[in-house]
């Protein structure tokens, strides 16, 4: 009976956790944030305690997982509906290499040393920092890399073409809200933004799901 009880608790725990991940959506699995990491530890502890603590039954497992699932769902809802909570709950990407130069202050803030940075770059098949024009430390701890033009595949040197500058895209509007910091960093202003939106027959920021600007390619807009 002891082994049967363990088997039942394992099946119930696995089924409940699987159901919860289905409810929360694939994005939660694709991007493991600090909050998601804590959630995984806590949920694993719930099931582990149920297996080895005789005083914890199936009902306790279901209640604990359901309550934690509701809490996670609320947090996910907040990050989707209330844009101002995203930076706190999910974190923000950090530019750690800018125009080919390492941003030491950003690296220090993220507790990232050169050895760790090189390790992350090698995972992106980049074996020299000199190859990188821009590198962004994502919220899940991975690094996104934009190589210098001469190190791109195929390289411009192989094609005997002149080198072209590499520009970083700026997210101007996300889910109906303007990122004023990015707009300013791109050297643009509200008048420019309104003019471009009107050219696309858009008269309200709320009507824009996503807007991106890149110096060499201009503006890209996706409506709600």
Residue 134: the pLDDT is 93
Spatial distance between the Cα atoms of 62 and 17, rounded to a whole number of angstroms = 10
CB 94 within 8 A of CB 109: yes
Mention every residue, 6+ apart, whose C-beta is less than 8 A from residue 86: 79, 92
For residue 176, give the nearest of 151, 156, 202 by alpha carbon: 202
Q: Do domains 93-151 and 170-223 have the same CATH topology?
A: yes
The b-or-e profile of 44-69 (16+ CB within 10 A means b, else e) is: eebbeebeeeeebeeeebbebbeeeb
Q: Delimit the domains of the chain by residue range.
A: 2-88, 93-151, 170-223
Check if CATH label 3.40.960.10 holds for domain 170-223.
Answer: no
Please give the average per-residue pLDDT across 67-83, as a whole number: 75
pLDDT (tens digit, 9 = 90+) per residue, 91-100? 688 899 999 8
Fold observed for domain 93-151? CRO Repressor (3.30.240)
pLDDT digits (tens, 9 = 90+) for 104-123: 898 888 888 888 888 888 88
Ranges of beta strands (E only) in the chain are 94-98, 101-102, 132-137, 143-147, 170-174, 177-178, 208-214, 218-223
Whole-number average pLDDT of the chain: 78
pLDDT at residue 30 greater than cutoff 50? no
Q: What is the pLDDT of residues 9-26, one digit of tens each?
A: 667 666 766 666 666 554
């Amino acid at each position: 009976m002891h082994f049967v009880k363990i088997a039942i608790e394992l099946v119930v725990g696995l089924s409940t956790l699987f159901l919860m991940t289905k409810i929360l959506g694939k994005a939660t699995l694709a991007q493991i944030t600090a909050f998601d990491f804590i959630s995984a530890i806590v949920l694993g502890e719930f099931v582990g305690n149920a297996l080895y603590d005789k005083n914890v039954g199936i009902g306790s497992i279901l209640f604990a997982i359901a309550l934690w699932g509701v809490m996670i769902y609320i947090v996910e809802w907040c990050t989707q509906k209330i844009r101002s909570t995203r930076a706190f709950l999910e974190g923000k990407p950090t530019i750690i290499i800018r125009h080919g130069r390492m941003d030491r202050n950003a690296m220090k803030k993220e507790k990232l040393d050169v050895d760790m940075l090189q390790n992350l770059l090698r995972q992106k098949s980049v074996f020299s920092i000199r190859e990188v024009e821009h590198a962004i430390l994502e919220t899940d701890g991975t690094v996104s890399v934009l190589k210098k033009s001469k190190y791109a595949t195929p390289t411009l040197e192989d094609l005997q073409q002149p080198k072209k500058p590499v520009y970083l895209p700026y997210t101007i509007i996300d889910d109906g809200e303007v990122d004023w910091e990015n707009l300013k960093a791109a050297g643009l202003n509200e008048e420019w933004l309104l003019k471009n939106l009107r050219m696309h027959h858009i008269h309200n920021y709320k009507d824009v799901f996503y807007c991106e600007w890149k110096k060499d390619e201009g503006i890209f807009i996706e409506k709600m």
